[in-house]
């Protein structure tokens, strides 16, 4: 079967976004790989034909964003176990025509938080119970953290906790109401309220943050969210959303290329793109 000397990867989203292309292309350049990355914008009713095209054109990998993270699942040939548990796919790998779905947001979040602290048996409060929180809670419970979830809509926090507990994590996940931050080693914001486009407010006041709390915000626009600034003002260790973005892209890179991701080159490209 004829094959192109260039391996193509890309992304599928409703509006073409270039951040993934920037990160992956920097990785290809650093390792001298004959890969190229193209962000594609498609409509929802074009998803199945886009996956047919992926097979026909032998496109090696696609990153997918909402709503395709859920929509692609019935169209794939197999799911990685973590993606199946989370119920969301952000990465599709084409193995000789067999399309396999992965979730790299999950390991990306655990690696970003794990850079700042030991995870096993430590206590983390996750704010939010939407799509992003699902991947983070599954990942942190999988790393044997004691996970509590607080969400504006309490029932969604309980439903997420119940769902994760079905996979029998080392410590059961709980839904909680109060934000007593002294009771935790880490706080992870997975709500959209710190995003610039949703007002950019911090979910907790700076004075409420104990200096020994590790604070991670998965939001990366702005990089210095109000929560990251509040944590730093208290002398607490803060992890910004760019770290999770970098590590989830690095995992995609490794799935597509089979090579260890050149983190320095990808990180430098991300910094340039975000600032
Ligand atoms: P994503 O896929 O990015 O997680 P989402 O599924 O819309 O997006 O979830 C957004 C999360 O941020 C939810 O947990 C939401 O709380 P609700 O479940 O109560 O809607 C939370 N959120 C958004 N704006 C918020 C705000 N102003 N205050 C508190 N929580 C907020």
| 145-181: pLDDT as tens digits | 999 999 999 999 999 999 999 999 999 999 999 789 9
147 bridge partner residues: 124
CA distance 253 to 270: 14
Is 215 in contact with 227 (CB distance < 8 Å)?
yes
CA gap 262, 228 in Å, rounded:
26
pTM: 0.95
Residue 60 CB partners (closer than 8 Å, separation 6+)? 7, 8, 9, 35, 93, 94, 256
Taking a C-beta distance cutoff of 8 angstroms, is the pair 218, 228 a contact? no
Q: How far apart are CA 114 and CA 59, in angstroms?
A: 32
Q: Angle at CA 131, nearest 5°, toward 213 and 205?
A: 30
275 — pLDDT class (breaks 50, 70, 90)? confident
Q: Would you say the CB of residue 133 lies under 6 angstroms from ligand 1?
A: yes
Nearest CA to ligand 1 atom 23: 192
Q: Dump pLDDT digits (tens) for 246-266.
A: 999 999 999 999 999 999 999
Reply yes or no on whether 156 is catalytic.
Answer: no
CA of 235 to the centre of ligand 1 (A): 27
> Is 4's pLDDT higher than 90?
no
For atom 5 of ligand 1, the residue with the nearest CA is 130
Under the banding of pLDDT at 50, 70 and 90, the label for residue 184 is very high
């Amino acid at each position: 079967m004829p094959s192109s000397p260039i391996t193509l990867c890309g992304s599928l989203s409703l509006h073409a976004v270039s951040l993934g292309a920037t990160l992956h292309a920097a990785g290809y350049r650093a390792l001298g790989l004959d890969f190229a990355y193209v962000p594609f914008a498609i409509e929802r009713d074009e998803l199945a034909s886009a996956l047919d095209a992926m097979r026909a054109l032998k496109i090696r990998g696609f990153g997918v964003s909402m709503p395709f993270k859920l929509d692609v699942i019935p169209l794939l040939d197999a799911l990685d176990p973590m993606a199946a548990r989370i119920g969301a796919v952000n990465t599709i790998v084409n193995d000789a025509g067999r399309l396999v779905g992965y979730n790299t947001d999950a390991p990306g979040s655990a690696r970003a938080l794990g850079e700042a602290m030991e995870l096993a048996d430590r206590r983390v409060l996750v704010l939010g119970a939407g799509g992003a929180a699902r991947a983070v809670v599954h990942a942190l419970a999988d790393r044997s953290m004691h996970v509590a979830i607080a969400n504006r809509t309490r029932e969604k926090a309980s439903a997420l906790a119940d769902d994760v507990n079905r996979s029998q994590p080392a410590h059961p996940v709980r839904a909680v109401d109060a934000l007593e931050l002294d009771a935790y080693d880490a706080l992870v914001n997975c709500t959209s309220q710190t995003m610039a486009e949703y007002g950019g407010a911090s979910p907790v006041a700076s004075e409420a943050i104990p200096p020994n709390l590790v604070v991670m915000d998965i939001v990366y626009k702005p990089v210095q969210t109000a929560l990251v600034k509040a944590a730093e003002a208290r002398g607490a260790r803060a992890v910004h959303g760019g770290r999770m973005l970098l590590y989830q892209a690095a995992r995609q890179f490794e799935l597509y290329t089979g090579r260890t991701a050149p983190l320095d080159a990808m990180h430098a490209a991300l910094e340039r793109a975000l600032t």
